Amino acid sequence: MIAARMIALAVGYVFGLFQTGYLYGKSKGIDIRSEGSGNAGTTNSLRVLGIKAGLITFLGDLFKAIFAVLLVYVLFREKYPDAVLVLELYAGFGAVLGHNFPFYLKFHGGKGIACTSGMILAVCPLAAPFCLFLFITSIAITRYVSLGSILVVCSYLVQVIVFGQMGFLGVDAAYLPEFYVVSACFTAMALWRHRANIKRLLTGTENKFGLKKDK
């Protein structure tokens, strides 16, 4: 099982290396990491290159996590039927790591929210509706994309624990604690990547979506 976990992480990392925003920007003659917030994710692509770029980046980053999860499911569904959901989770986390820390871009990638969203859709779809509701509502009220992103990953973890304790996740009881721990890693990673945004939110200096570029 240890080898399977490592393979799942590696598969996810390889998929995560597909830097949609960076590649789209390069096709337009722009290094997205040197513009706006310097981030290679959806929000910066949207602000720097427009709605089309933002949508393409979001979908590319969303689906690379979904594809990684699906491939791991195909690889391990017969050998580890009781643990396949956990292995899918590892694949999703690997995709986030590949997106956030691509080796060929000197480990300078995005913040992993779109990738995490893809993992949620593929591994824990029960959590997706409330995550989406929080994201849209918080941005509509505050116009802080970072706040919406933070709420998504925090609510995901809470929902996983609640659904797991209620028996709704479909995860074998033997692997439930591990599922919680790996899920917590998604939240911890996202909070770490948003640490500068959190500081600005606390001081009231965070940029609002549609008003000016991130710093």
Taking the chain (215 residues) in consecutive chunks of 10 residues, what is each chunk's mean pLDDT?
95 95 89 82 85 92 97 96 96 97 91 95 96 95 93 97 94 95 97 94 86 43
Residue type, 169: L
CB 53 within 8 A of CB 146: no
The whole-number pLDDT of residue 89 equals 97
Q: What is the CA radius of gyration of the chain?
A: 17
The model's pTM = 0.91
| Helix locations, 17-112, DSSP H | 20-27, 42-49, 51-76, 84-100
The whole-number pLDDT of residue 214 equals 39
Token pair, residue 29, equals 């003659």
Q: Write the CA distances from 91 to 6, 87, 112, 130, integer angstroms.
A: 9, 6, 13, 23
Token pair, residue 151, equals 């709420």
Token pair, residue 115, equals 């990738």
The closest alpha carbon to 146, from 110, 93, 106, belongs to 110
Please return the burial class of 73, using the count of CB atoms within 10 Å of its CB with bins 0-12, 13-18 and 19+: middle
The whole-number pLDDT of residue 42 equals 87
The whole-number pLDDT of residue 33 equals 84
CB 110 within 8 A of CB 21: yes
First to last CA, the chain: 43
The whole-number pLDDT of residue 212 equals 47
Token pair, residue 41, equals 């994710």
